[in-house]
Structure 1
């Protein structure tokens, strides 16, 4: 499993959240406290929104704790909306193309979890990606496939429905061939809104927490900073939506009855 952190709010330097705090994301890459895999050293990445519509993106295969370029970027970049990820590979090799976040146009996505039995499902899952979007498939991991399949199902217009339909179809496939669960703790952003999902086909979704401070929101796999009192676990089967003004909405995210989602031409 991986560790992730996302922020939406008053612009700040990335190092103020990713490097400096006690239990920061970089610290979690060496010693995660709430994960079966303690070390997350199979790469790292950042996606941030600045003055342009499309986000900046940095990904690399070095562990976050030894990536000097990551440290330098975090010290220089100020952003009011960004995603960061440290990877412990469950599918796909250690390569830049398998590192999170993934980007397409204005969209960013990162994931902690798995598609159970993915090796036997990969061809079918990749078949969920539209012909127009398939050339964007650069890596081999399940997370990028989920992202592109959701883009093929209207992610840009309705992210919640797109991920619901994508996971519903995957779960229908998975249930026929594997006893391993689908687990999905993920963050998506279009540059204006941030969506944090927590769901699993069993009763063990990956950890995901949120903390709000005024008009700012933090989402993370594990609480960071000295004061853990302000962090709240996002309930299983939920999606938290926030925008840059500080408005937040928590609603159910149900992936129950499998149903075929229409693939949107892109």
Structure 2
């Protein structure tokens, strides 16, 4: 599945090279399994969000390496893509930028025609690509603007999506200059946090100072090294990070129209498969989990009809035909908002430096009765589950300082995850 990464230092500007490039399970290492695109977002000295992205795997993208090693910021959002909707174009790569915020998403949200009706033409004008992720971000942005508060806007948007649209997973990262929000919802895909009190730092090595490690909150789809302090977010947990202060909210009911893996198309199910090396119970001797895209697709196509991709193993134990694009938002920074004083967001739980035992989790029982939108779309997904993914011809373009890149453009089903 796609991989998310976020980091906040609370002020000091650092480089993210360790987690993006050098850690045992860095984002570059993970991109060998997620090769459809990579992007990195950060905040400039003026507080504007800036991002560079390309439909190219991080491990073969010279710009990704260059920015990871050289760009200093106090807040980062990065993403590697395993596509199942939209072509392999720069407009479909994460992170996205809207209204001075960065956004990245992992999961599947259907009912996109319904989602579009919730927004005005002005709201939709920000959308340049074809993914469910960008539409969700546009709706989240619209709700934040209506409510005048980022946390309340995220909560309201996710509540309505969860109540009215079919959802498999809605894991997301939203970042403003110095602030970050991370959501795991529901339990389908994991999301982890390494807090400063549990070993969270910007990188390894020398004593604190210029380019030395500083305390940091690190968020990732899987533990990126073997530090014991990694903690999985609970299903339904919205973690807010203001500087280095972490607060958890549990404001969401169970999904009204949950999607199962059997409801997804072949390509969607493959993109949500658990990756090798992630935390979880060991596979029994003599067996091998279908954990990557090629294995999942092979299992389905060899059966002649359909197959269920194994679900992600959850554990609470720690463990190119398109050029790259850089963009910047307007030079304004959102005014600080007290995280604990958010209207209509219950169950705020301040995070101490050491997480308490038996941290409560949100219920995730599926509803017995799915709505008409969920039923229709779920049926359509099953009907299309035998279609294979067609890859079209590649092309080359020049990018950067004389570099030449090649990438294949893919014809992928018109609704599903990014």
**TM-score, length of structure 2 as denominator length:** 0.54
CA distances 1:61-89 after superposition (whole Å, capped 9, x unpaired)? 01111001111111111111110100001
Could you report, residue by residue, the CA deviation over 1:238-266 in whole angstroms, capped at 9, with x for unpaired residues? 0111122x1111121304598xxxxxxxx
Contact residue 48 and residue 100 of structure 2 kept, 8 A = yes
Retained in 2: the 8 A contact 1:171–1:182? no
Q: 1:105 to 1:168 in 2, by over 3 A?
A: closer
Q: Is the 8 A contact 2:26 2:224 kept in 1?
A: yes
Alignment of 1:46-85 (within 5 A): 46-85=40-79
Q: Structure 2: how far apart are the matches of 1:12 and 1:112?
A: 26
| Matched residue SS, 2:161 | helix
- Corresponding residue number in structure 2 for 1:143: 133
The separation in 1 between residues aligned to 2:84 and 2:150, in whole angstroms, is 24
Q: Which residue of structure 1 aligns with residue 161 of structure 2?
A: 170
Residue among 208, 230, 246 paired with 2:191: 208
Question: Secondary structure at the residue paired with 2:143?
Answer: coil
1:66 & 1:189 partners in 2: Cα distance?
26
Which residue of the partner structure matches residue 268 of structure 2? none
1:8-55 CA-partner distances (Å, limit 9, x unpaired): 00432121220011110111111xxxxxxxx21110101101202211
Q: Which residue of 1 aligns with 2:17?
A: 15
When the two chains are superposed, the root-mean-square deviation of aligned CA atoms in Å is 1.9
The separation in 1 between residues aligned to 2:196 and 2:49, in whole angstroms, is 24
Matched, 1:240 2:242: no
- Report deviation, 1:205: 2.6
- In structure 2, what is the Cα distance between the partners aligned to 1:185 and 1:257? 13
Q: Which ranges of structure 2 fall in alignment gaps of 5 or more residues?
A: 198-214, 257-418
Q: Is the 8 A contact 2:8 2:178 kept in 1?
A: no
Report the secondary structure of 2:47's partner residue: coil
Q: 2:180 is matched with which residue?
A: 194
Asked which structure has the greater CA Rg, the reply is: 2
Higher alpha-carbon deviation: 139-148 or 121-130: 121-130
Q: Which runs of 5+ in 1 are unaligned?
A: 31-38, 176-180, 259-266
2:104 maps to which residue? 110
Figure out how many residues of one structure are paired with residues of the other and give that number.
236
Aligned-partner SS, 2:112: helix
TM-score normalised according to structure 1 size? 0.83
State the match for 1:87 in structure 2.
Answer: 81
- The residue aligned with 2:171 is 185
Separation in structure 1 between the aligned mates of residue 132 and residue 15 of structure 2, nearest angstrom: 31
User: Contact 1:187–1:196 (CA<8 Å) still a contact in 2?
Assistant: yes
Distance 2:4 2:57 in 1: 14
Deviations along 1:115-174, whole A, 9 cap, x unmatched? Answer: 1xx3xx222212222222221110010000000011111258333332333233333443
8 Å contact kept, 1:92–1:142: no
CA contact (8 A) 2:77 2:95 kept: yes
Counterpart Cα distance in 1 of 2:73 and 2:240: 19
Q: Tell me the distance in 1 between the aligned counterparts of 2:160 and 2:102.
A: 22
More strand by share: 1
CA distance in 1, matches of 2:27, 2:77: 11
Kept in 2, the 8 Å contact 1:6–1:218? The answer is yes
